[in-house]
Amino acid sequence: MILRCGNRNLNLKYPQVMGILNVTPDSFSDGGRFSDLGQALYHAEQMFTQGAAIIDIGGESTRPGAKTISVEQELDRVIPVVEAIARRLDVLISVDTSSAQVIISASKAGAHIINDVRSLTREGALAAAASIELPICLMHMNGEPQSMQDNPQYLLPIEQDVLQQLTASVARCEQAGIERQRLIIDPGFGFGKNDQHNYQLLNRLEALQSLKLPLLTGLSRKRMIGSATGQSGAANRVIGSVSAAVICVLKGARIIRTHDVKETVEAMQVVSATFREGND
């Protein structure tokens, strides 16, 4: 129920909102507007004021077809932002990275959570994660970002594939010395999944509760939202995204990753008010 994040605690009895801070020049939904340090800090402060418990900083775009960047470029983009936020805001800092060097440097710079869409499969990432003491988010992905949306296929029902892959990732982490209580799981909406896969997964999301680990979901402004609402522009997908976030939380998710913090926090306040009157 309480996740230890470095020197801080995160209460997962109630849903918590993770605001997305992209420091990439090509992230699809905010188009690199926050690539400069001042802008990044301003956006982080705004999300904090709106009620984000966590700010998720990403320097490498994982959108389909995005260019890979060097570790040096990623460090240059991400670490100054981590340091600046750690100094100024009383918020948890998550770093969206797959690189061993960034994991280590982010931890030293004041990060509280590591969010790796590749689940520590890049060279050195597993050992890097074992050498620090922060929670790690492991995500399901089918394929690699470059090609994952080229006709994704599953042999098993999708939630079973997701559960199997996450179970294997968790076991691999435990074998490497990463304590189970440091792990967070994420089904990876949109990562090697077509619209039908994504909605089947959302419908059966409670299947992931069998791992008994904190569940994070990110559907914010994704294509699956547009495909249900007909909204092609990312900024017009807020209501659809918030609706999906509410479904996730009712099916067990406790961390919601979003671009739209104010709207998502309000929805989560209604969910929390409801949970508070429960018996558990």
Taking CB under 6 A as the criterion, the residue among 222, 241, 253, 256 binding ligand 7PJ is: 222
Vertex 175: Cα angle to 170 and 181 (nearest 5): 50
Nearer to ligand 7PJ, 75 or 113 (CB): 113
Residue 168 identity = A
Binding segment (CB under 6 A) for ligand 7PJ, from list 65-73, 121-129, 199-207, 216-224: 216-224
Minimum separation from the CB atom of position 258 to ligand 7PJ (A): 9
Per CB under 6 A, the list member of 60, 74, 83, 96 interacting with ligand 7PJ is 96
Beta-sheet pairing, 255-258 with 216-218: parallel
Query: Mask 122-141, x = binds ligand 7PJ (CB under 6 A)?
Result: ---------------x-x--
Count the alpha carbons within 13 Å of 112 in the hemisphere toward its beta carbon.
20
Shortest distance, position 239 Cβ to ligand 7PJ, whole Å: 17
Residue number with CB closer to ligand 7PJ (31 or 88): 31
- Three-state SS across 99-131? CHHHHHHHHHHCCCEEEECCCCCCCCHHHHHHH
147 Cβ neighbours under 8 A, 6+ residues apart: 64
Contact characters 9-48, ligand 7PJ, x per CB under 6 A = -----------x----------------------------
Q: Which is nearer to ligand 7PJ, 58 or 79 (CB)?
A: 58
Q: Give residues with Cβ within 8 angstroms of 127, minimum separation 6.
A: 100, 176
Q: What is the DSSP letter of 215?
A: B
Q: How many Å apart are CA 71 and CA 189, to the nearest integer?
A: 26
Binding positions for ligand 7PJ, rule: CB under 6 A: 20, 62-63, 96, 115, 117, 137, 139, 186, 188-189, 216, 218, 222, 257
User: Where in the sequence numbering do the catalytic residues fall?
Assistant: 222, 257
